[in-house]
Structure 1
């Protein structure tokens, strides 16, 4: 069974990748707080399969993904919906910060028409930042606080 974890920030992505809880862990990085909002069109283009529209760093949703992060599931050129379709289950891990909450709202709105994806979704809403926890798992399966 293939499993994808999507996070609402890159720090949570780095921590969860080390846990080996999923085949692939990816962070969604749009910034909706403290800067000008990207247009809806720009956000959607960023999620498409890589093309000539993605000529600047940060234009494609996978520009910052680590080499090898998608092994067996696609290349750094794959589109968001195409990648999600490859997995049997998808978890969205959401930190409590304002930008993370807005990314969640955007993502759920974006995915609403895609029943073939939404039926595979689970939501993990955290009370604290995931990056504040060690990547190793305790015996009950939860992450342990660092420090």
Structure 2
């Protein structure tokens, strides 16, 4: 079975690539304005219900639904991921992408059965602008998601959701090497939040 790609809002290229069975871009803007509430985020990844309006479910922005997947698009994200051997997280260095990544990793922390399937692929700016054909030729190393990535993400997400910016600044004194694109994005994001 092919892989599932979860990506940032600029993942449109992956939707047209042959690298995956399905690519799901996430559209939340975490950098500017108020953060979505925990209930809104939980609803976004939950199974679709009558409460979901257009654009409020994780599957609403997924591209190229194959016939085998169409009947599964109303599932909760975790249930949908369970049928894939590999779930790849493709995120670029931009602050919003890094925040989406830490949010997703923090979300997957409470689903250990899926963590073993998670792979992280960190993108550079060249891949963001690549055509689907160019993207299919690039070899972007995949890293297994481990406890280090999950703990770093949980720490970062908790700091970013804090009511005051001190936790964001304090995070910069911590070891963030498990997510190597996080520190530069964090510097930019902390300055915007502060």
Normalised TM-score (structure 1): 0.83
Correspondence list, 1:63-142, <5 A: 63-66=60-63, 68-73=64-69, 74-128=71-125, 130-137=127-134, 141-142=137-138
Q: CA RMSD in A?
A: 2.0
SS in 1 for 2:99: helix
| Secondary structure of the structure 2 residue equivalent to 1:63 | helix
> Quick check: which one's helix share is greater?
2
Q: How many residues align?
A: 138
Q: What TM-score results when the alignment is normalised by the length of structure 2? A: 0.65
Runs of 4+ off more than 2 Å: 63-66, 73-76
Kindly indicate whether structure 1 or structure 2 has the higher relative contact order, using CA contacts under 8 Å at least 6 residues apart. Answer: 1
Query: Is the contact between residue 91 and residue 122 of structure 1 (CA under 8 Å) also seen in structure 2?
Result: yes
**C-alpha separation between the residues in 1 aligned to 2:18 and 2:43?**
30
- Structure 1: gaps of 5 or more residues: none
Residue 6 of structure 2 is matched in structure 1 by 6
SS of the aligned residue for 1:2 comes to coil
Aligned residues of 2:23 and 2:62 also touching (Cα < 8 A): no
- Contact preservation (8 Å) 1:50, 1:60: yes
